[in-house]
Structure 1
Amino acid sequence: MEETVPNRLAILGHPQRLALFRLLMRRYPDRVPATELALALGLKPNTLSTYIGALLQSGLVTQERQGTSLRYAIDLKAARDTIGYLLNDCCRGRPEICTPLTSSDGNLPMPDDKFNVLFICTGNSARSIFAESILRDLAGDRFNVYSAGTRPQSDLNPFAVQVLEHKGHDVSQLRSKNVAEFQTDDAPAFDFVFTVCNQAANEECPTWPGQPISAHWGLPDPVKIEGSDAEKSLAFQQAYGTLRNRMLGFTSLPLTSLDRISLQKALDAAGQTDQKGNPA
């Protein structure tokens, strides 16, 4: 560890290698293909390969072949060990300094009223709108639910609206919103923040006050499906079904009795399931 940590810190001292590391942290536990990483960071394939090679050599990132594609993910233990090494002396001598950074083993506090939950995707026209509507109708007595987009559309997707209406949701108050609406001084303090599309998770995320628990629940964008109206409608139905299944799991969790690490693991696992509850 004495030799490994300085090497890791030196590698992360390069701005673009650090950006790659942070992107993979936001996407954890996803394994992300190199082509998507290069596109998200605006890097040439050979440049990305060099940066990935350095992170792999340091042990901060792992590689796995899926079919013909190489995919990459953070080695969370290595990342935790590296950050823990930096904090060790600080927290031994002055634990009050590090408490905000090391409080992940505590329980989620019971809110005075309801838990505040935000779902984010790029357009805020389908997937995040689905998530907002489903959670509100499943457990609106326990959650205040919001959704937003990093680059919201002017209108909700008509196929998404059709699915919601068919499922009995009230769509009259739904609208696409920019995530900036929830970054003002009078915005709700969120307990949970979820990204439900890969593109939103790949972007630099805002700093949310209060250390909300975050998770990535990415799923394919039904808006991009080409074909007949029936084929498009099926894609929206599948996205709705996957999110509803994940929401059922979320609402069944004992949120205030689980420590934050256990709760984070449960939410990460939920983001890997399909509409039938099987691993995606």
Structure 2
Amino acid sequence: MNFLTFNTHSWLENNDQQQVEVLAQKILKEDISIIALQEVNQKTTSKEIQVDHYFQLNNEQQSIHEDNFAYCVVNRLRDLGTNYYWSWAFNHIGYDKYHEGVAILSKTPFQAEVIKISLEDDPADYHTRKALLGKSESLCFLSGHFSWWSQSSGFAYEWRKVEGRLWDEKLPLIIMGDFNNPANQRDQGRDLVLASQLNLQDSFEVATEKVGEGTIPGGIDGWKKNAQSLRIDYIFLAQEFLVEKYQIVFDNISDLQISDHYGVLIKTSLK
């Protein structure tokens, strides 16, 4: 099984359609089982559409617009001969003009659930965060875009909400997304995840083969003062998984860079 997480920064790059095309071609080439996307945008003013049965309704379903980035990627995949099931959860207003959210694409059907993880609940406040949970017959997977480190109202609070929701899940877990917590900052976000009783492993740390590491190249939105490559996007997995390969993608090395983040692609098998 192959998994991908990617903060798309959608509709904020120079070539919108190139974003869609490069991502769709990569999904097809690598035969990716489940894709977790963040900063999946649609304009607040664009036209609402009716979705088909490949869209997996969730418990807090917001309207889907014709320019929803995940919808555009799924449509392009369909043009290329492959259908993906998908869902999208609205988080907050981004850049004053987008409904910003998170999405999941899957080769197989799944049940979709939105989990409110932030202390805030105002869509006009960018601190408002919701994660998207998917459950298939054999896996439980999540796409999230978390806040920066804070013990009280930021990442620590949000992680505990996720942890509480997933505590009694019996299926193997895959938790993916933009965690906004660098791997080199000890006693903060990554360490909190690995200390969880969910008993997760960091795919980078356990991969047999590693190609690349950092997921942002330097100063980007939210990390303006950063001058070095950081690993802030993660795929955490249950102990049942073996990680054969961890690879950074969309980094102008393996693939064209199409976002201010790089993607993380892993190849796995179950023990």
- TM-score normalized by structure 2? 0.26
Q: Which has the higher strand share?
A: 2
- TM-score normalized by structure 1? 0.25
Q: Which has the higher helix share?
A: 1
Question: Who wins on radius of gyration, i.e. which is larger?
Answer: 1
